[in-house]
Each structure stands twice: as structure tokens, then as C-alpha cells.
A and B are shown apart, each in its own frame.
Chain A
Amino acid sequence: MDWFVFVVSGVAALVGALGVVLARNPVHSALMLVLTLFSVAVLFVAQEAHFLAAVQVIVYAGAVVVLFLFVIMFLGVDHEEEIGKEKLIAQRPMAFVVTMLVLLQVMLLARTRWATGASSVTGVASDPGTNIEKIANALFTRYLLAFEATSVLLVIAVVGTVVLARRTPMSGIRSVQEVDDTPAGPAPTEAAAEAGQ
């Protein structure tokens, strides 16, 4: 049963990943990304990381992919990309060779047994209790500083996004308001002042 789950969701994850890379339409890529993210969530459940599986589905497959799709639709780039021409010579063969080398190295590392180091004493994953309790215990004791730093990071991300997405006069594109205002002569306040005199 475990092998069945592993094989099915592993194949689905690989198919989704290939779909992300090979699909010409960005919308199809985003939908294939959902398949991969969901399969990885299933693999999390198979390894008793239940909380992370839930977060994966909610945050990644939910929020992040919806954000991707929103940006694709907002920018109107949901047309086919022409894949034919390459700007760099032999970019794809070189990329293939390099990534195959990376795969070979990581596979060799996965075969070795250097990962069996000293096991934890404070946060043992096979302790009694639910997965979310153990994660909370580790998160709010040992990793508390990192947790607080995460909140600062989120605030910075929100502020940065608002600043980036705002239309400013310096951004190269003038807003509709400015374009409407420029051909007029003196500013309305000055005109009103002159009329008053």
C-alpha cells in the first residue's frame, strides 16, 4: 500500500513537473504545477508530515497558484510561446548536460549513508502525540527567533509589494490623471485665483 501511494504520487509529481516545463501556454504550466504540488502533499502525508501537507495544499496549491494565474490573466500573456529560436547557441543541450550531471551527483549522494547522523533528543518525530503538537513545540521554543523573523519578513514583503505595484510618476508610464492634466494651461487653482482677482 505504501509503495502504491509512493509510485502513483511520484509519477504524478514527475508528470506535473514535466508539464510545467514543456507546456507552451503559461496557464497549462500553472495547472500542471498544481498537480505536482498536490502530489508532493500526498508524499508528505505518506511520511507523516500531516501539518505540512495541509499547509502545502492551502498555501501553495491554493494561494500561490491562484496568484500565478491571476498575474497571467492580468498581464494577458496566456498565449502560446514560440519555442523555436534559441538566442544562445546550444542552450538546451548544455542545459540538459548540466542538469543531468546535477541529477547524477544528487543520486550518488542519496545512495550513501551519510544522512544517518545523531538523532534528535528534543524533537523526536516518532514521539507520542500529534504531528502538529510536535511542530508547535519545536517552533515556539527552539525556533522562536526564526519564527519572529518570519513575521518581520512578511511585513517587509507586503510593504515592498505595495511600493512596487504602485504607479508613481517616476515609473516611466504616466498615469491617466497626469495625461489628462498636461495639455491644460495653468493649473486649476491658479486659474481660479486669477478669476478671483
Chain B
Amino acid sequence: MSVPGPWYLALAAMLFTIGAFGLLVRRNVLVMFMCVELMLNAVNLTFVTYARMLDDIGGQVVVFFVLVVAAAEVVVGLAIIVAIFRSRAEATADDISLLSG
């Protein structure tokens, strides 16, 4: 354990911030989805770091569950995106505003 845990936490915080910024700024739905994956990965890195710092395998098990849920989320989300693209040719996040009232 030569690299202290807080360095990993800082790196994960930066990754999370970049992902959140991309989610707020980008309009392409697919790229927004990739930014969500970035944020999930940053949190996974945090969990693994805490698992090492606290000497507890539970953190790694939680990351395992996050991976499974993220895979299921990607599958369903991409199916929704495909369904949206079928009904309209050009779909950015600005175009999908049916629920905005």
C-alpha cells in the first residue's frame, strides 16, 4: 500500500466530475449514456479504494453488484434509445421533450 488511498479518491472524484460535466453539457443521448458509465466507474474506483483502506472485501462485492446493474441498465437504456430513434430520425436530448408540458 504505497500509494495512499486519498490519491485514488481524488482521482475518482475527478473522473466523476468529468462524467457529470459531460452529462450536463452534451446533447447526444449516446454520449450522455457514456458519461453515466464514467460516473459509475468513478464510484467503483472509490468502493475498491475503501475496500483496501478498511481491509474489507465487502466493498469489492458491492462493485460486483454495481457492474451487474450497470450492464442491465446499458441494455435497457440502449433499447429505449433505439426505440426513440425509430420514431424520429434525429434525436438529441433537446428533441425528446414530450414530457416537458
Residues of A within 8 A of B5 (CB): 115
In angstroms, how far is the closest chain B Cβ from the Cβ of A106?
4
Q: Smallest CB-CB separation from A118: which chain B residue?
A: B54
Interchain CA distance A109-B9 in the complex, whole Å: 9
Inter-chain CA distance A52–B44, complex, in Å, is 10
Set of chain B residues within 8 Å of A138, measured between Cβ atoms = 57-58, 61
Residue A177, interface by CB 8 Å? no
Give bound CA distance, A48 to B15, whole Å. 20
Contact among A29, A44, A109 with B34 in the assembled complex (CB-CB below 8 Å): A29
How far, in angstroms, from A100 to B18 measured CA to CA in the complex? 9
- In A100-117, the 8 Å CB interface with B consists of 100, 102-103, 106-107, 109-111, 115-117
Q: Pick the contact of B20: A59, A99, A109 (CB < 8 A).
A: A99
B18 to chain A, nearest CB (A): 4
Nearest-neighbor residue (CB-CB) of B62 within chain A? A143
Selected contact of B24 from candidates A55, A99, A143, A165, CB within 8 Å: A99
**A173 vs B67: C-alpha distance in the bound complex, in angstroms?**
34
Tell whether A125 pairs with B51 under 8 Å between CB atoms, given A120-B56, A161-B79, A165-B83: yes
> Contacts A26-B31, A44-B48; is A146 near B65 (CB within 8 Å)?
yes
One of B8, B65, B71 near A47 (C-beta < 8 A): B8
Q: Which residues of B contact A103 (CB under 8 A)?
A: 13-14, 16-17
